[in-house]
């Protein structure tokens, strides 16, 4: 395709015609010539907005882009209604690639009941791979909003699923040939399949019903980064037992292969939940087949400590994610 906005025929054929999910809250959706979308709220509802780019991978980039923003919205206790897409394509992109990306995005949106409300699609020399930025728009009752900054001393810290799952899956996809020199095909495919666990919307809904003080999806910087951010946002300390943090063997093996720290590896699909109803929440999550473990407790002060047997270490502000050492 040529540099610049994609032609109207391409826009209709490979973008707009791939969008099927509609929501009653969206009054003005995507169409040629519409630069804004309009969403209707009830009187006692608030708007929740989040935006994220996807730059680290091209495999299932459309699916990941939607899930990561949807997870951010869910972590606030809100229901995601729609997304705005900004898709930047390199000059060598073929139209069928754009159509495949849009089909992938629409498939996830259909599954999660999200409307693609609008956006922008452009071919540009400024990028050498596809870049997708997603802005999510959600709603919730004002009284039901959950902030990362809500953690309170005495609350338990819960993590769902397994840390490092997103980074593990991305590495397994991008470095499959290299990994097959040591591991079996079934092992690498099992690591790739972790992408199926990328949504935290189910655990967010259950957690909101039980009652939580804070939720935070674990993205760049891994669980150590997410724990630090909860501590800083809430102005509290915390203590976590590293041996209680759930981790898959695929993550352990792949991180050893590339000499990565799995606790600093991108972990979308895992949710950090802070609550004073830990046992009740754990039981409800497990009934819904969502693995969850209590890994620590919120403390007074500002010491953020990770315990490993007799060893104690202090968390530090998150730096570049371990994933970028490999890609």
Arithmetic mean of pLDDT, 210-223: 95
Please state the pTM of the whole predicted model: 0.89
**Architecture of the domain whose range is 148-325:** Alpha-Beta Complex (3.90)
* 60, pLDDT greater than 70: yes
What is the model's pLDDT at position 57?
A: 66
Where in the chain do CATH 3.90.650.10 domains reside?
148-325
Q: What is the mean pLDDT of the chain?
A: 93
- Kindly report the three-state secondary structure assignment for every residue of the chain: CCCEECCHHHHHHHHHHHCCCCCCCEEECCCCCCCCCEECCCCCEEEEEEEEEECCCCCCHHHHHHHHHHHHHHHCCCEEEEEEEEEEECCCCCHHHHHHHHHHHHHHHHHHCCEEEEEEEEECCCCCCCEEEEEEEEEEEHHHCCCHHHCCCCCEEEEECCCCHHHHHHHHHHCHHHHCCCCCHHHHHHHHHHHHHCCCHHHHHHHHHHCCCEEEECCCCHHHHHHHHHHHHHCCEEEEEHHHCCCCHHHHHHHHHHCCCHHHCCCCCCEEEEECCHHHHHHHHHHCCCCEEEEEEEECCCCEEEEECCEEEECCCCCCCHHHHCC
Give yes or no for a contact between 306 and 240, defined as CB atoms under 8 angstroms apart: yes
Where in the chain do CATH 3.30.1330.10 domains reside?
4-144
What is the model's pLDDT at position 58?
A: 65
What is the model's pLDDT at position 5?
A: 76
Residue-wise pLDDT for 1-56, tens only, equals 878 778 888 888 998 888 888 888 888 888 877 667 778 888 899 999 999 988 76
Residue-wise pLDDT for 79-115, tens only, equals 999 999 999 999 999 999 999 999 999 999 999 999 9
Nearest in space to 322 (alpha carbons), one of 243, 248, 277, 264: 264
> Which CATH fold topology does 4-144 show?
60s Ribosomal Protein L30; Chain: A; (3.30.1330)
- What is the side-by-side strand order in the sheet with 45-54? 4-5, 115-123, 79-89, 131-141, 45-54
Rounded Cα distance between 192 and 271, Å, is 19
């Amino acid at each position: 395709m040529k540099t610049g906005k994609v032609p109207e025929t391409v826009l209709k054929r490979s973008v707009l015609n791939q969008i099927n999910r509609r929501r009653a809250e969206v009054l003005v959706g995507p169409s040629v010539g519409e630069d804004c979308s309009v969403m209707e709220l009830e009187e006692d509802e608030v708007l929740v907005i989040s935006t994220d780019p996807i730059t680290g991978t091209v495999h299932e980039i459309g699916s990941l882009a939607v899930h990561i923003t949807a997870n951010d919205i869910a972590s606030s206790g809100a229901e995601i209604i729609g997304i705005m897409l900004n898709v930047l394509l390199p000059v060598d992109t073929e139209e069928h690639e754009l159509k495949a990306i849009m089909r992938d995005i629409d498939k996830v949106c259909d599954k999660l009941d999200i409307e693609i409300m609008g956006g922008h699609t452009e071919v540009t020399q400024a990028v050498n791979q596809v870049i997708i930025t997603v802005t999510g728009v959600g709603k919730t009752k004002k009284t039901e909003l959950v902030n990362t900054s809500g953690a309170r001393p005495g609350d338990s810290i819960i993590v769902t699923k397994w840390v490092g799952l997103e980074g593990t899956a991305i590495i397994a996809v991008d470095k499959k040939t290299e990994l097959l020199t040591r591991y079996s095909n079934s092992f690498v495919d099992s690591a790739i399949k972790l992408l199926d666990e990328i949504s935290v919307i189910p655990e967010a809904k259950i957690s909101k019903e039980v009652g939580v003080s804070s939720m935070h999806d674990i993205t760049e910087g891994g669980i150590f980064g997410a724990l630090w951010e909860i501590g800083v946002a809430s102005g509290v300390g915390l203590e976590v037992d590293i041996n209680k943090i759930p981790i898959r063997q695929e993550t352990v093996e792949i991180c050893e292969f590339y000499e990565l720290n799995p606790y600093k590896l991108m972990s979308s699909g895992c949710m950090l939940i802070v609550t004073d109803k830990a046992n009740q929440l754990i039981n409800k999550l497990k009934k819904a087949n969502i693995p969850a473990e209590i890994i620590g407790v919120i403390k007074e002060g500002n010491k953020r400590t990770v315990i490993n047997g007799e060893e104690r270490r202090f968390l530090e502000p998150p730096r570049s994610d371990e994933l970028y050492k490999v890609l």
